[in-house]
Chain A
């Protein structure tokens, strides 16, 4: 009912919602530059970015799904499946193995998307089933950690392009692609419209089910790619623990970035900022020797703040 217009309090809130993540990242950077020794070291930057890259990639898909009022809990398990498939097919070379892993992600996404779009299962239930099932499948395929020596795959995980780790380059490129997808393509606009009002979108002739299905496929493929990249960096396939709880980090990034869980709006760059913020935050607290529990408490506070800010918009 309320309108986010006149009173100054509201205006501040509207501003915080729009640019809060950027401001928070800026403040944190400044703090670190001033108070954290060696923060500006190139090595430190690289580590931070390499660590956050898989989360960013997964978050991009998550943002798309959340934009349709959905959620994808299966991303971590899909990463594990990708790790397992890579290990199994590495004998054919790194690229065929990568391809198989991505196809695996697409299949998992299709399963989730079909349940949501055609069967009408709630997204949280459908993807929860996949979270359990796909992890199980990955463990059956590769029961224990497998190390590998494929030079191509190892290079994917550890080489650099003009000094920037390849993983980071991939995440950046995907971010731009996703921003383009959301803003400039019919598919992206349809995703946002469906999240905003599904019944109206349907009456307007949008292919609602197909779009929903595709959204989960995209999320699955991105998760699979993140799984391959993480595996490449580890130089080992570890389906038992790879990607555990990453769905929570991804959802956090999306929410902190200001994308409302009620759908109808997707903020791609802010989502990436959300992921960076959480990464920086834990790095900062660790560097200043604060216990892990502190990090969690601060993260919780930030999530609540973000949810509060987006809630205002959602209920207008």
Chain B
């Protein structure tokens, strides 16, 4: 951290207004060469907006940007990138249909004579670059066939490969598993050594303390604090983000799951809320059995690619199966029909919010009402009164921050979009909820709220299947844990065995080449 140097990028009194919200209000931030600068704040605090101002996606209403000592205004993200500001956005924005290699090399493909793309060289180079990130894959495959984590690594590799002076990462780890996070950190440290400035946005405090030098806290579009991270107490940081007193935060406004005891679920002879038997699909799932009783939270542990998301999808009929069946409250579901699953009261909160969750152009209101439409209508005609009521209840209960229920959901901050999706499921009054990374991209305050909500729902008798790559969350949230590996359930932990170590051990022990 060589702060004697002049800042490489500086924001001075930046303001940015959207209809109904002031996203940024006089924000100043100086970024020095060779520093890793954490940018934190609650959902909707303005982090992504500030980044988009840096990169020319948004034009500020007031204030100026100083880049390399002179005023700068980037008209488009491409301009910013050419000038040396490289960005990994919160939502992966690569081209899903194109090959991994094309995505990685887009705009700077190696060309042979006549300017034709030299594909052989492109593939070779792409493979070499990705190997440096611990990603070994067929670079000819379309990007969309890869998992979210790998996609994120491709985005990272792409951003870093561009000759940049500033690298901005908006929640880069949200889809990564621990091993990949480590890779990311080593990349960041290397960037730092090269004198490149890094902006790092994340809701995971551990990560901030692991790699960041300084921190800027945004709250409601204003800078609430800026300074070195070392020496800043964790609770103090949280209190700055939430705008509450330190004492108030300390006195436990932030407990997460109420983990005083592990619930057993109601096994009084009633059938489980959901039972999956022998879910099988070639190459993906090999006879997976899962049962979740009402009133319990069952965690699914395992590494990326272990088949956790696939299991959840199979249960709600969104993944074609070769064999196996699913029963909700003892009654078999028609296979391969999400409609039947939802009608029976099973809902899946998907991992990939943008591709499988939100309907971007529709309003918050319509997104919330979507799954429950049949019950919010009479004779096929939707009832505005009923919808308004449900939407109001859940917007309040989940503290969804939007200008109005009629705002298009794509304009909401990432965390608030996630809450909208949760609200969509709560609106159907589910019997069983399958949550795939439910707190991804949600700020500390909201994370605690969501976790408390999951607890509360379980108390009320809902069955919950929880998938999370955050082991802490899994241990604190789940009453019982099923460990998956290579498409099969390889272990079950309950009671006092539910600990991070035991999960790691269970993931590792069955595999020859354990990498947990």
Within the complex, which residue of B338, B341, B380, B410 is in contact with A186, where a contact is CB–CB below 8 Å? Answer: B380
A313 to B93, CA, bound (A): 17
Segment 232-264 of A: residues with Cβ below 8 Å from B: 264
A41 at the A/B interface (Cβ < 8 Å)? no
- Closest chain A residue to B428 by CB distance? A205
Among B77, B362, B377, the one with the most A-chain Cβ atoms within 10 Å of its Cβ is B362
Segment 337-358 of B: residues with Cβ below 8 Å from A: 338-339, 341-343, 347-348, 350, 355-358
**Measured between C-beta atoms, what is the minimum distance from B248 to chain A in Å?**
36
B58 at the A/B interface (Cβ < 8 Å)? yes
Contact B373 A190 (CB under 8 A): yes
Q: List residues of A whose CB falls within 8 A of some B CB.
A: 1-3, 5-7, 184-187, 189-190, 192-193, 196-197, 199-207, 264-265, 313, 316
A6-B59, A206-B370 given as contacts; is B358 within 8 A of A200 (CB)? yes
**Measured between C-beta atoms, what is the minimum distance from A40 to chain B in Å?**
40
Within the complex, which residue of A186, A199, A201, A204 is in contact with B377, where a contact is CB–CB below 8 Å? Answer: A186
A203 to B312, CA, bound (A): 11
Within the complex, which residue of B59, B339, B362, B369 is in contact with A205, where a contact is CB–CB below 8 Å? Answer: B339
- What residues of A have a CB within 8 angstroms of the CB of B361 in the complex? 196, 264-265, 313
Contact B382 A186 (CB under 8 A): yes
Known: A197-B355, A204-B338, A264-B361. 10 other contacts (CB 8 A): A184-B381, A185-B382, A186-B381, A189-B366, A190-B373, A196-B360, A197-B359, A206-B371, A207-B339, A316-B410
B247 at the A/B interface (Cβ < 8 Å)? no
Among A199, A203, A264, A265, the one with the most B-chain Cβ atoms within 10 Å of its Cβ is A203
Contact B342 A200 (CB under 8 A): no
Closest 5 CB pairs of A and B: A205-B342, A196-B359, A204-B371, A197-B359, A264-B361
B19 at the A/B interface (Cβ < 8 Å)? yes
A5 to B60, CA, bound (A): 12
**Measured between C-beta atoms, what is the minimum distance from B508 to chain A in Å?**
32
A7 to B76, CA, bound (A): 14
Contact B362 A193 (CB under 8 A): yes
- Closest chain A residue to B370 by CB distance? A204
Contact B373 A2 (CB under 8 A): no
Within the complex, which residue of A185, A187, A197, A203 is in contact with B316, where a contact is CB–CB below 8 Å? Answer: A203
B509 at the A/B interface (Cβ < 8 Å)? no
Contact A203 B339 (CB under 8 A): no
- What residues of B have a CB within 8 angstroms of the CB of A313 in the complex? 361
B17 at the A/B interface (Cβ < 8 Å)? yes
Among B359, B366, B377, B380, the one with the most A-chain Cβ atoms within 10 Å of its Cβ is B359
Segment 51-104 of B: residues with Cβ below 8 Å from A: 57-59, 61, 77, 93
Within the complex, which residue of B347, B355, B370 is in contact with A201, where a contact is CB–CB below 8 Å? Answer: B370
Contact A203 B356 (CB under 8 A): yes
**Measured between C-beta atoms, what is the minimum distance from A63 to chain B in Å?**
16
- What residues of A have a CB within 8 angstroms of the CB of B369 in the complex? 189
Can you pick out 24 interface pairs between chain A and chain B where the beta carbons lie within 8 Å of each other? A1-B57, A6-B61, A184-B381, A186-B380, A189-B382, A192-B362, A196-B360, A197-B359, A197-B360, A200-B350, A200-B355, A201-B359, A201-B370, A202-B318, A202-B338, A203-B356, A204-B424, A205-B316, A205-B343, A206-B373, A264-B359, A264-B360, A316-B360, A316-B410
B374 at the A/B interface (Cβ < 8 Å)? yes
- Proximity string of chain B (91-120) to chain A, C-beta cutoff 8 Å, 1 when within and 0 when not: 001000000000000000000000000000
Contact A205 B382 (CB under 8 A): no
- Closest chain A residue to B346 by CB distance? A205
Contact B362 A264 (CB under 8 A): yes
A190 to B357, CA, bound (A): 15
- Closest chain A residue to B384 by CB distance? A184
Contact B57 A2 (CB under 8 A): yes
- Closest chain B residue to A183 by CB distance? B382
A5-B18, A186-B382 given as contacts; is B362 within 8 A of A203 (CB)? no
A196 to B57, CA, bound (A): 23
Within the complex, which residue of A3, A5, A196, A316 is in contact with B362, where a contact is CB–CB below 8 Å? Answer: A196
- What residues of B have a CB within 8 angstroms of the CB of A316 in the complex? 360, 410
- What residues of A have a CB within 8 angstroms of the CB of B18 in the complex? 3, 5
A265 to B17, CA, bound (A): 26
A5 to B93, CA, bound (A): 21
- What residues of B have a CB within 8 angstroms of the CB of A201 in the complex? 359, 370
A185 to B383, CA, bound (A): 9
A162 to B373, CA, bound (A): 40
Within the complex, which residue of B19, B59, B61, B342 is in contact with A204, where a contact is CB–CB below 8 Å? Answer: B342
**Measured between C-beta atoms, what is the minimum distance from B426 to chain A in Å?**
13
- What residues of A have a CB within 8 angstroms of the CB of B318 in the complex? 202-203
A31 to B41, CA, bound (A): 56
Contact B381 A185 (CB under 8 A): yes
**Measured between C-beta atoms, what is the minimum distance from A99 to chain B in Å?**
23
Within the complex, which residue of A6, A186, A203 is in contact with B373, where a contact is CB–CB below 8 Å? Answer: A186
Among A186, A201, A207, the one with the most B-chain Cβ atoms within 10 Å of its Cβ is A186
A207 to B318, CA, bound (A): 12
A225 to B431, CA, bound (A): 45
Segment 430-451 of B: residues with Cβ below 8 Å from A: none
Contact A203 B338 (CB under 8 A): yes
- What residues of A have a CB within 8 angstroms of the CB of B58 in the complex? 3, 6
A200 to B318, CA, bound (A): 11
A197-B360, A264-B361 given as contacts; is B17 within 8 A of A6 (CB)? yes
Within the complex, which residue of A7, A187, A205, A265 is in contact with B371, where a contact is CB–CB below 8 Å? Answer: A205
Contact B341 A205 (CB under 8 A): yes
Segment 162-198 of B: residues with Cβ below 8 Å from A: none
- What residues of B have a CB within 8 angstroms of the CB of A184 in the complex? 381-382
- What residues of A have a CB within 8 angstroms of the CB of B410 in the complex? 316
Within the complex, which residue of A185, A200, A204 is in contact with B380, where a contact is CB–CB below 8 Å? Answer: A185
A189 to B380, CA, bound (A): 10
- Proximity string of chain B (372-405) to chain A, C-beta cutoff 8 Å, 1 when within and 0 when not: 0110010011100000000000000000000000
- What residues of A have a CB within 8 angstroms of the CB of B339 in the complex? 205-207
Contact A200 B359 (CB under 8 A): yes
- What residues of B have a CB within 8 angstroms of the CB of A196 in the complex? 359-362
- Proximity string of chain B (36-60) to chain A, C-beta cutoff 8 Å, 1 when within and 0 when not: 0000000000000000000001110
